[in-house]
Amino acid sequence: MSDNPTTFQGEPDGTPGIEWNDTAELHMQEDGGGLLHRFKTIRRGTFAGLIDFVMDLPEAEQPRYAILKNGDRRIEIGEIRTLFRRSDFPGNAGG
């Protein structure tokens, strides 16, 4: 599903799936949040690129990170792993 409506009235564009190329930020799982949490960003990139980055870390370190997508959606390690295993994840040609 697209994150952005395509019409003035806000109807979805009908494109199923995840916006892998959306911008996202990598944060420590427990960065304290707060007003200045944007200054605690470790890395910025595409949503898919950050998922790939986290999955390339040693397994014991992966739970220390979370991805913020579009500034308000927090994706933690369980969901990161699930997204990485999807057949439509970039780099998973053919499943």
Per-residue pLDDT band at 89 (split at 50, 70, 90): very high
Under 8 Å CB-to-CB from 71, ≥6 apart: which residues?
25
What is the distance between the terminal CA atoms of the chain, rounded to a whole angstrom? 19
This prediction has a pTM of 0.73
What is the structure's pLDDT at 30? 72
Summarised one tens digit per residue, pLDDT across range 9-50 is 555 555 567 899 999 999 988 755 554 455 578 999 999 999
